[in-house]
Chains A and B, each alone.
Chain A
Amino acid sequence: MSQLGIVYALMGAAVAVFLAGAGSALGVGIAGQAASGVVSEDPSKFAKVLILQLLPGTQGLYGLIIGFVTLSKIGLLGGGVVDVSVQTGLLILAACLPIGIVGLISGTSQGKTAASAIGIIAKKPDQFGKAMLFPAMVETYAILALLISFLAVSAIQV
């Protein structure tokens, strides 16, 4: 039974990395298509659109952080695997869900917003600051989810 606990905990780390990473991949992909469209007509806008394309990439990093914290919590990184009960394993899995799910949704949404913001750069490159704010707003919710996942995983006693 104790082995099942570690499986649940590991699933938590996997969910955080997999879902948040997938969200970022989708988001960066969408924004990248828009960025390519603009650069193919006007290569001088490369730097500005690249920054906007990278904005949805943060969710993947947040997932990675929670994954790391989880792995070190259960001792998988240090070499000494701790004994994790099923209940604790499930708690860790639940703690990882916020960044996983919110990462997936916010990453995709931020990608779409970034693609629209790239449209602003295409027409009014001097409005870069304003264009960056719109996709940055979506980031708030990924950060909130990261905070809760981080606090929850850290608070669980193993």
Chain B
Amino acid sequence: MKDLDYTYAVARVRALENSLFSDSEIERLLACTEEEQCLQLLSEKGWGDGTGSMDISDMLKREEEKTWEVIRELAPDMSVFDVLSYPKLYHNLKAAVKQVCTEVEGESIFYEDCSITGEEMLQIVRNKEWGQLPGNMGEAAAEAYDTLLHTRDGQLCDVIVDKAALDAIYEAGKRSKAEIIRNYAESTVAIADIKIAVRSQKTAKSIDFMKRAMAQCETISVEQLSKAAAAGMDAIRDYLLGTAYAEGAAALQESSSAFERWCDNRMMETIRPQKYNSFSVGPLVAYVLARESEIKTVRIILTGKQNGFSEESIRERIREMYV
């Protein structure tokens, strides 16, 4: 698609961006003393299905659906957005492999809003029809299935599928002509690698485990990052200081939740230039990611209020807003 084909869609997204939460509106939400007040505020802003239902999960689910309804209506070519659903797709694969291998049925463990739904994925895994899965998924599914059956190691199964997901995202980024998808893929893989390094360091995992879990990308060296993780948290920070993710080192020093927040904020930084782009698919992708981040932030606030967290500890977890 040519960039000019997105003129209508970008202008509409620009108008829609007005209804995204700004930092001051998040502050208002934070200032609510009770969960009901938050829900009331969200409902006044048009969140939910319009029936006045105050069920949190329904409201947040409906907001996710609304985002995709708009994008489906606007985008001349939906294939650009496939890469955004890879995490959900590979999650479905992981859940299906575990359910089939352990024969334990979980409730609501699948995402239904992606190209292969939970039921379809279960069918494929039960019949071992790996050829029906797209890209590298078939290979990863077979390996994860065999590994889980032989070793009963759920974590290893997760590592195989998660690595395949990161590889698929990176490949999709390399193939894509859209700059935002390339940047999204690079940031997603790099941040995931950094998260793996930090968590592996905390749980004292081996270098081999880390190398198996991390995916290759341009801005992070798997070799150096895994060595740094094996040497300790300070070594990870030192390594990050020499990369494009230097701010992550400071966040790591602060606290775990500050680090998690930085991971999401870094993605926001990647997409923020799209606010000033009037053509191309970039602003549409940025809108989807901004909505996802907004919904995640609202979920964090609501969960915090539900569990009686202090305003300060919720604030520490609040993500930067796009607008």
Determine if chain A interacts with chain B: yes
Which residues of A line the B interface, CB within 8 A? 30, 33-38, 40-42, 112, 115-116, 118-119, 122-123
How would you classify the secondary structure of chain B's contact residues: helix, strand, loop or mixed?
A: helix
Instruction: Give bound CA distance, A123 to B16, whole Å.
Output: 9
Is B10 on the interface with A (CB-CB < 8 A)? yes
Known: A30-B4, A30-B7, A115-B7. A37 touches B15 (CB 8 A): yes
A-B contact pairs, 6 of them (CB 8 A): A33-B11, A37-B8, A37-B15, A38-B11, A41-B16, A122-B14
Residue among B11, B12, B13, B278 with max Cβ neighbours from chain A (10 Å):
B11
Known: A34-B278, A115-B278. A40 touches B7 (CB 8 A): no
Chain B, residues 163-202, CB within 8 Å of chain A (1/0): the string is 0000000000000000000000000000000000000000
Instruction: Give bound CA distance, A40 to B10, whole Å.
Output: 12
Is B311 on the interface with A (CB-CB < 8 A)? no
Q: Are B4 and A37 in contact (CB under 8 A)?
A: no
Q: Which residues of A contact B18 (CB under 8 A)?
A: 42, 122-123
Q: Which residues of A contact B7 (CB under 8 A)?
A: 30, 33-34, 37, 115
Instruction: Give bound CA distance, A35 to B15, whole Å.
Output: 11
**Residue in B4, B9, B11 whose beta carbon sits within 8 Å of that of A118 in the complex:** B11
Which residues of B line the A interface, CB within 8 A? 4, 7-18, 278-279
Instruction: Give bound CA distance, A46 to B17, whole Å.
Output: 18
Q: Are A37 and B278 in contact (CB under 8 A)?
A: no
Known: A34-B7, A122-B18. A40 touches B278 (CB 8 A): no
Instruction: Give bound CA distance, A138 to B61, whole Å.
Output: 46
Q: Are B8 and A119 in contact (CB under 8 A)?
A: no
Q: Which residues of A contact B15 (CB under 8 A)?
A: 37-38, 40-42, 122-123
Known: A30-B4, A34-B278. A115 touches B11 (CB 8 A): yes
Instruction: Give bound CA distance, A36 to B9, whole Å.
Output: 9
Instruction: Give bound CA distance, A147 to B16, whole Å.
Output: 42
Known: A115-B278, A116-B278, A119-B278. A35 touches B17 (CB 8 A): no
Closest to A45 in B: B15
Instruction: Give bound CA distance, A115 to B13, whole Å.
Output: 13
Residue among B16, B17, B278, B279 with max Cβ neighbours from chain A (10 Å):
B278
Q: Which residues of A contact B17 (CB under 8 A)?
A: 122-123
Closest to B73 in A: A40
Could you tell me the distance in whole angstroms from the C-beta of A139 to the nearest C-beta in chain B? 19
Q: Are B278 and A41 in contact (CB under 8 A)?
A: no
Could you tell me the distance in whole angstroms from the C-beta of A42 to the nearest C-beta in chain B? 5
Please give 18 more A-B residue pairs, beta carbons under 8 A apart, in addition to A36-B11, A123-B15.
A30-B4, A34-B7, A37-B11, A37-B12, A37-B13, A37-B14, A38-B11, A38-B14, A38-B15, A40-B15, A41-B12, A41-B16, A112-B279, A115-B7, A115-B279, A119-B10, A122-B14, A123-B14
Q: Which residues of B contact A33 (CB under 8 A)?
A: 7-8, 11
Q: Are B4 and A34 in contact (CB under 8 A)?
A: no
Q: Which residues of A contact B13 (CB under 8 A)?
A: 37
Q: Which residues of B contact A41 (CB under 8 A)?
A: 12, 15-16
Could you tell me the distance in whole angstroms from the C-beta of B130 to the nearest C-beta in chain A? 43
Could you tell me the distance in whole angstroms from the C-beta of A28 to the nearest C-beta in chain B? 12
Q: Which residues of B contact A40 (CB under 8 A)?
A: 12, 15
Instruction: Give bound CA distance, A157 to B279, whole Å.
Output: 47
Q: Are B12 and A38 in contact (CB under 8 A)?
A: yes
Instruction: Give bound CA distance, A101 to B4, whole Å.
Output: 21
Instruction: Give bound CA distance, A90 to B16, whole Å.
Output: 53
Instruction: Give bound CA distance, A112 to B3, whole Å.
Output: 11
Q: Are B16 and A34 in contact (CB under 8 A)?
A: no
Closest to A42 in B: B15
Q: Which residues of A contact B279 (CB under 8 A)?
A: 112, 115
Could you tell me the distance in whole angstroms from the C-beta of A90 to the nearest C-beta in chain B? 36
Could you tell me the distance in whole angstroms from the C-beta of B214 to the nearest C-beta in chain A? 39
Q: Which residues of B contact A116 (CB under 8 A)?
A: 278
